[in-house]
Amino acid sequence: MARSAKKKKTTKLIALSSTNKAYEFKKPLQKRIKYQGEEVDIKLHEDPNGFSYIVWKNKKYMLDVIEKKQNRYTIMVNSVWHSFTVETPVSLKRKRFLEKQGDASSSVSIEAPMPGKIIDILVEENGEVKEGEPIIILEAMKMQNEITSHISGIVQSVSVKKNELVMKDDVLIEIRKG
Instruction: Catalog residues that contact other proteins under the rule CB under 8 A.
Output: 10, 13-15, 17, 21, 23, 25, 27-29, 33, 35, 42, 44, 49-51, 54, 56-57, 61-71, 73, 75-82, 84, 86, 113-115, 119, 134, 137, 139-144, 146, 168
Nearest distance in Å: CB 101, other proteins: 26
The DSSP output letter for 30 is: P
Question: Where are the strands (E) in the chain, listed by range?
Answer: 12-17, 22-26, 32-35, 38-41, 43-46, 52-56, 59-69, 72-77, 80-87, 107-111, 116-121, 128-129, 134-140, 143-148, 153-158, 165-166, 171-177
Nearer to other proteins, 115 or 174 (CB): 115
- Is the CB of residue 115 less than 8 Å from the CB of residue 138? no
Nearer to other proteins, 61 or 176 (CB): 61
Nearer to other proteins, 122 or 157 (CB): 122
Nearest distance in Å: CB 97, other proteins: 22
Nearest distance in Å: CB 115, other proteins: 7
